């Protein structure tokens, strides 16, 4: 009996974890495999499991709307990542000076992370609506010539998505960089001060280059958020005007549930997955090399 008890105790973690692992294996990786296979069939309104090669991928890349989604992804992800990181670095350096209101600043910039993208998109939709938000407020203040109609302008609507996303995620970038700055040895800063390096040179020439892993991690996380962005776009613009703010995720949703093109939607989802893998795998490889070294 004692031997059975010891054997059970050794295997208890595996027994506890195995149902969760099995569920994850089926509902996550199983459906990823199902989606990838559906993209290789002639599925339309309903799944068709007869293999048909890459015809759905050919149709996908012949669809003009897909190119709009890809272009928007590059515009959105480029601006979103660069602006969020720039704001995050500047705020982290400010807070690293041990300012008195550090707690207030951290709370203000981290609070948006507690909100869902649906809430963020809805709030910014009200704020940027020409008839309800900023433009109307400026008109009531006497600035009748003020115009800010980006939300309903097909050429500028994607930039309203960037504004809302930066507002929500720059605080997260700040937290990552601040943690990296606080991990820098004080002796390094003291040595730089003794050598006569000012604050600007200390940060740009010494401290920030030491934070390359933080930079890489931040880029990976923000890029992942950008690629799978869906709820923010749906709440803020609905993909419009027309499909001017379509991203791959909203394209996939539209073709799967509104246009009943399940095969094309699965192909677009697989392309999104491959993009995420192309970003994450090199990062994991570099981290594993560091660990092995």
Compute the average pLDDT of residues 252-267. Answer: 91
Query: How many Å apart are CA 135 and CA 120, to the nearest integer?
Result: 19
Closest by Cα among 229, 257, 268 to 59? 268
Compute the Cα dihedral for 26, 28, 29, 31 and give only its sign.
Answer: positive
Confidence of residue 9 (pLDDT cuts 50, 70, 90): low
DSSP state string for 183-230: TS-HHHHHHHHHTT--HHHHIIIIIHHHTHHHHHHHHHHHHHHHHT--
Q: Which of 70-74, 85-89, 90-94 has the lowest mean pLDDT?
A: 90-94
pLDDT in tens, 198-219: 777 777 787 888 888 888 889 8
Which tokens sit at 242?
A: 């027309």
Average pLDDT over the chain, rounded to whole? 84
The pLDDT, as a whole number, for residue 220 is 86
Highest mean pLDDT among 80-89, 100-109, 182-191: 80-89
Where is pLDDT greater, at 74 or 197? 74
Distance CA(77)–CA(80), nearest Å, equals: 5
The per-residue pLDDT for 1 is: 55
What pLDDT does residue 162 have? 95
- Burial status of residue 245 (CB atoms within 10 A of its CB: 0-12, 13-18, 19 or more): buried
pLDDT of residue 23: 74
CB 95 within 8 A of CB 106: yes
């Amino acid at each position: 009996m004692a031997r059975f008890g010891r054997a059970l105790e050794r295997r208890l973690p595996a027994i506890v974890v195995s149902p969760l692992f099995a569920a994850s294996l089926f509902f996550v990786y199983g459906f990823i495999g199902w989606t990838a296979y559906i993209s290789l069939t002639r599925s339309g309104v309903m799944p068709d499991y007869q293999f048909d090669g890459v015809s759905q991928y050919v149709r996908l890349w012949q669809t003009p709307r897909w190119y709009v989604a890809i272009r928007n992804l590059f515009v959105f992800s480029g601006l979103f990542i660069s602006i969020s990181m720039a704001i995050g670095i500047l705020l982290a350096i400010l807070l690293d000076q041990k300012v008195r209101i550090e707690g207030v600043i951290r709370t203000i910039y981290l609070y948006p992370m507690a909100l869902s993208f649906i809430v963020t998109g809805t709030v910014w939709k009200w704020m940027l609506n020409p008839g309800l938000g900023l433009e109307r407020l400026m008109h009531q203040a006497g600035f009748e010539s003020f115009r800010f109609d980006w939300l309903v302008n097909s050429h500028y609507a994607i930039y309203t998505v960037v504004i809302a996303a930066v507002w929500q995620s720059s605080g997260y970038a700040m937290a990552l960089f601040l943690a990296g700055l606080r991990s820098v040895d004080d002796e390094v800063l003291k040595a730089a001060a003794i050598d006569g390096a000012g604050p600007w040179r200390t940060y740009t020439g010494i401290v920030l280059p030491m934070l390359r892993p933080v930079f890489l991690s931040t880029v990976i996380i923000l890029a992942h958020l950008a690629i799978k962005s869906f709820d923010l776009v749906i709440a803020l613009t609905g993909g419009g005007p027309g499909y001017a703010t379509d991203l791959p995720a909203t394209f996939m949703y539209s073709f799967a549930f509104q246009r009943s093109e399940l095969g094309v939607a699965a192909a677009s989802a697989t392309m999104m997955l491959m993009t995420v893998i192309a970003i994450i795998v090199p990062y994991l490889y570099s981290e594993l090399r560091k660990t092995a070294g």
